[in-house]
Chains A and B, each alone.
Chain A
Amino acid sequence: MFPELNSILSSSPENFTEGEFILLSDRQADASFLIHHYLTFYLRARCRVCFLGLVQSFSHYSVVSQRLGVNLTQAKEKGQLVFLEALKASPGVLLGDESSDKTAALDYLRSPCPELRGLYEFVWNSLSRAGGEDAAESWGPPVLIIDDLSVLLSLGVSAGAILDFTHYCQATICSQLQGSMIALVRCDDEEYDEDEESSNYLLKALSHQCSLSLRVEGLSTGYCRDIHGQVEIWWRGRGMKNQRKIFQYKVHDKGASFFAPGTSRAVL
């Protein structure tokens, strides 16, 4: 997790808002560093985490989390982390192997199944179990992290089905279980037309539902070695005044630093 981002968002593993739906998005940049931040943040906060890894393998996150000081393999063994490795399980589902229990979760690969109900059932089963099975450990509120939702659009799931899925996740995890949900949506600049099946539409629809939105964009002036882009943080929460702030960031080997626009160390 990134300490600077924690202070900007006024949260820490000991003290964070519950019931949040955090929407991460990027356009011409890569917001996956924020996924690593939240994964390590919530694991440090001793929450039960269900991670839907739809685009990368477990070892990828494991390696990065190691650098940020969290051991994913250990968390998985202790039962704190439930990891859906979609990439590994997908060929099996597509080729029709009946074996694993994860096949229901990946039902969306089998057309013409338009719903993400199977995926939702998987999430619900992973997070609804109280920590009582592992007697000694009682974990904090449940957390769902999805990396990422736009790939589902590419796989043929309709935007409406994705929105139904996120609605159910929010209703159960955020409202009922008082946990948090983090989802990443990746947008393309070319899809600016009002297509109802584009990531832009998905982003707009999810913005209505989220309580905090972090939008990552590349700098409009182009690539810069010292400033990798800018993040717009938008507090949308109920009862909270609409507040937006922009920060520029740079991703390092072991973290990321955030600073007000124009105050990068390379510039000052």
Chain B
Amino acid sequence: MLTEVLQGSDSGGIVIIRDTSSYSGRDLLKYCINCALKREEDVHVLGFEVPEQELRSELDSNNKHLFHFHNAYSDPLGWRKQSSFTVEQFSAENITRLVRETKHAKASVLVIDSLSWIERHHNPVAICQQLHKLKKGGAIRTICCLLHMDLHQQGIVESICHLANTVITVTAVNNALYAEAKTTHRKKSGKVMQEEEFFTVMENLSLSIEKRPSQSGHAQVHSDAKVDPASNLTFNLRLSEVEREAKEKVALPFVFSQEKKSALLKKGQGSGRIIYEPDANDDFDEEDPDDDLDI
């Protein structure tokens, strides 16, 4: 499902890639950009976290002219007075204007790298509002964002992801080359689909997916015939017919059978009698406390 969602030219909407420091989702974001370029769509990137050459490398060379990088990496706060795009300019109006300035291709895709950077400077509510406006605005068909889950409180992550049609959570798998992606996709009909897949993004930005990696050896063992533990021993563990019958006849010591019950209820002869002389202080109740038992 990962490939369909990222290559998908169907509905657009908001796609959020969530990652942690143990595995960066940027490769998947680059794959997403590449797919959009192959579909001949305008890609506008708000790049806060990495410089342009890192995102541009390995992209599809045929449509590189459709790739527009708005540099918010060199000077996002205006400290050097050379800013191209500052974090303050993050608003639906500004972005729509930027997108409309460039020549129109079939549709526009906005890529935000990353929302976590913006969240440090803007209220999460404001971010959600702007994203919503962009989604409804019409100038942009798809918005693809990167979000670092481990840098925000869970509530903020969930509120931002609530806006999205597709949420892809990438996590590292112990010491493996591939990573795990959990995709939750909400279709226009309202149906929600979820899938877990293992993937790697190759050097040339192609995606290689495995459904579930073969756990070495474990699956095979169960399909073998059950091994008989009593074979190949130097002593005999098996029972003959006679022995088996005798074994089944043995009464187990703590099983409460009919004979034991009647033996217990018979009054024994010569058993000791207890004579009890109550003291003045004793609280002696003549009633039999076991009166209500029904034996």
Contact = CB atoms under 8 A, between A and B. Distances in A.
Nearest to B79: A117
A201 B116 CA distance: 13
Interface string A75-101: 000000000000000000000000000
Given A120-B79, A171-B74, A208-B151, A238 B22 contact: no
B23 A209 contact: no
Contacts of A120: 79
Contacts of B120: 160, 163-164
Interface residues of A, number: 26
B21 A207 contact: yes
B54 interface: yes
A63 B76 CA distance: 40
Contact of A175 (B24, B51, B153, B177): B51
A236 B77 CA distance: 26
A242 B23 contact: yes
Given A208-B148, A209-B49, A194 B24 contact: no
A200 to B, nearest CB: 10
Contacts of B74: 171-172, 175-176
A265 interface: no
A164 B54 contact: no
B127 interface: no
A209 B73 CA distance: 12
Nearest to B74: A171
Interface in B23-50: 23-24, 49-50
Nearest to B120: A160
B78 to A, nearest CB: 10
Consensus secondary structure, chain B interface: loop
Contacts of B177: 241
A175 B55 CA distance: 13
Given A163-B120, A171-B51, A242-B23, A204 B151 contact: yes
Given A117-B79, A160-B120, A242-B172, A175 B22 contact: no
Interface residues of B, number: 24
A171 B73 contact: yes
Nearest to A159: B120
B73 to A, nearest CB: 6
A238 B23 CA distance: 11
A174 B150 CA distance: 25
Contacts of A254: none
22 contacts: A117-B79, A120-B79, A121-B79, A124-B80, A160-B121, A163-B120, A167-B76, A168-B80, A171-B51, A171-B73, A171-B75, A172-B80, A175-B51, A175-B74, A176-B74, A194-B153, A201-B151, A204-B150, A205-B148, A205-B151, A236-B24, A241-B177
Q: 6 shortest A-B CB distances, which residue pairs?
A: A207-B21, A175-B51, A160-B120, A208-B21, A171-B74, A204-B150
Interface of A: 117, 120-121, 124, 160, 163-164, 167-168, 171-172, 175-176, 194, 196, 201, 204-205, 207-209, 236, 238, 241-242, 244
Given A163-B120, A236-B24, A242-B22, 19 more contacts: A160-B120, A167-B76, A171-B51, A172-B74, A175-B51, A175-B74, A194-B153, A196-B153, A204-B150, A204-B151, A205-B151, A207-B21, A208-B24, A208-B49, A208-B148, A208-B151, A238-B50, A238-B54, A242-B172
